[in-house]
């Protein structure tokens, strides 16, 4: 696993688009060895959802709004795929929703896709039921997603997450409130459409100050250095999930627009922590 830690003075940073596994069973590199997979007995046959956007709408009704994010969002004869990000307990949680369009899908086909993604080389934690499954990029929050959608959690099979080192992080600046952090981010690259998740967490839209396309960011404050470092390691822990964060003192800014990392770090006097997903 290759990670890059950078301070604001350096000139470039990993950037790119979040890459997700393919939906159709025949499109995964493991499909042949999983072609005879059976659905785990814990996965119920219902509920069935019409499309990935239907699942997204239900999450919002359950208090888990999940704005669509950059990624592979598709709708074809096989089914639909949608990627989005929600906030759970102050953490930004990315998910990929996959549904099969057929009213009575072949559960063996769905089971093959699930088996391919839970095992090597992906090791994804999924939530599944009926004609759908969801990759939850932060496995610790899979239970929340499952409870909201009446699904079950299917942990990854095998694989270990290596321990992550972090760069030297400045003790300052520190922000007394989430609004003060948002205001500083706004001055640097924009922080519009603010959604306060808690006294220590907020989502907003960046890019307006620097002529970038609007994109999401999650801001968070921490009571302790250990809590901040744990959140950073959590954000860069998962293979296939790129991340760009800026941090110092008692805060982190998790940027969906990776190209903004250096500017935000320079303006907020922080450090960039980035992982390219490989």
pLDDT tens digits for the chain (278 residues)? 434 444 332 222 222 222 223 222 223 333 344 456 788 888 888 898 989 999 999 999 999 999 886 555 777 767 899 999 898 877 888 899 999 876 555 777 788 889 888 886 678 899 999 899 999 988 888 899 999 999 999 988 876 555 678 999 999 999 999 999 999 999 999 999 998 877 788 889 999 999 999 999 989 898 888 878 878 887 887 777 788 999 999 999 999 999 999 999 999 999 999 998 77
Does residue 168 sit in the same domain as residue 254? yes
Rg (CA), the chain: 19
Q: How far is CA 261 from CA 69, 116, 160, 270, 273, in A?
A: 18, 34, 28, 10, 9
Please, which residues have CB within 8 angstroms of residue 33's CB and are 6 or more apart in sequence? none
Q: Which two tokens stand for residue 241?
A: 């999930």
- The count of structural domains within the chain is 2
ω before 173 within 30° of 0 (cis)? yes
Does the residue 86 lie in any domain? yes
The two beta strands, 201-206 and 152-154, are unpaired
Does residue 202 sit in the same domain as residue 106? no
pLDDT score recorded for residue 121: 65
pLDDT score recorded for residue 231: 81
Does residue 37 sit in the same domain as residue 142? yes
Residue labelled with tokens 């239900």? 58
Sign of the dihedral defined by the CA atoms of residues 135, 69, 150, 26, in that order: negative
Domain stop point among 123, 154, 185? 154
Does residue 93 sit in the same domain as residue 187? no
Domain stop point among 101, 136, 154? 154
Does residue 175 sit in the same domain as residue 147? no
Does residue 176 sit in the same domain as residue 120? no
CB count within 10 Å of CB 189 equals 24
| Threshold 0.85, pTM exceeds | no
Does the residue 28 lie in any domain? no
Domain stop point among 125, 154, 183? 154
Does residue 144 sit in the same domain as residue 183? no
Contact 159, 122 (CB under 8 A): no
pLDDT score recorded for residue 5: 46
Does residue 144 sit in the same domain as residue 84? yes
Residue 107 belongs to what domain range? 33-154
Does the residue 203 lie in any domain? yes
Does residue 200 sit in the same domain as residue 183? yes
Does residue 131 sit in the same domain as residue 185? no
Does the residue 21 lie in any domain? no
Does residue 190 sit in the same domain as residue 82? no
Does the residue 39 lie in any domain? yes
- Sequential DSSP letters for 79-135: EEEEEEEEEETTEEEEEEEEEE-SSS--HHHHHHHHHHHHSTTT---EEEETTEEEE
pLDDT score recorded for residue 9: 28
Does the residue 268 lie in any domain? yes
Does residue 144 sit in the same domain as residue 257? no
Does the residue 129 lie in any domain? yes
């Amino acid at each position: 696993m290759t990670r890059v830690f950078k301070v604001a003075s350096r000139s470039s940073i990993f950037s790119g688009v979040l890459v997700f596994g393919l939906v159709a069973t025949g499109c995964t590199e493991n499909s042949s060895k999983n072609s005879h997979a059976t659905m785990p007995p814990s996965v119920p046959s219902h509920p069935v959802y019409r499309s990935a956007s239907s699942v997204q709408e239900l999450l919002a009704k359950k208090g888990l709004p999940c704005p669509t994010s950059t990624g592979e969002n598709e709708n074809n004869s096989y089914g639909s795929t949608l990627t989005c990000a929600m906030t759970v307990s102050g953490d930004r949680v990315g998910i990929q929703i996959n549904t099969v369009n057929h009213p009575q899908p072949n559960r063996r086909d769905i089971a093959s896709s699930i088996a391919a993604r839970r095992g090597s080389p992906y090791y994804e934690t999924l939530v599944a039921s009926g004609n759908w499954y969801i990759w939850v990029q932060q496995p610790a929050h899979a239970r929340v997603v499952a409870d909201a959608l009446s699904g079950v959690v299917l942990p990854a099979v095998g694989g270990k997450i290596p321990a992550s080192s972090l760069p030297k992080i400045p003790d300052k600046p520190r922000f007394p409130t989430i609004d003060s952090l948002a205001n500083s981010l706004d001055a640097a690259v924009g922080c519009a459409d603010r959604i306060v998740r808690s006294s220590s967490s907020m989502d907003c839209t960046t890019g307006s100050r620097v002529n970038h396309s609007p994109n999401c960011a999650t801001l968070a404050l921490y009571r302790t250095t250990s809590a901040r470092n744990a959140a950073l390691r959590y954000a860069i822990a998962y293979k296939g999930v790129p991340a760009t964060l800026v941090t110092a003192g008692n805060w982190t800014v998790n940027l969906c627009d990776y190209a903004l990392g250096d500017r935000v770090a320079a303006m907020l006097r922080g450090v960039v922590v980035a992982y390219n997903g490989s």
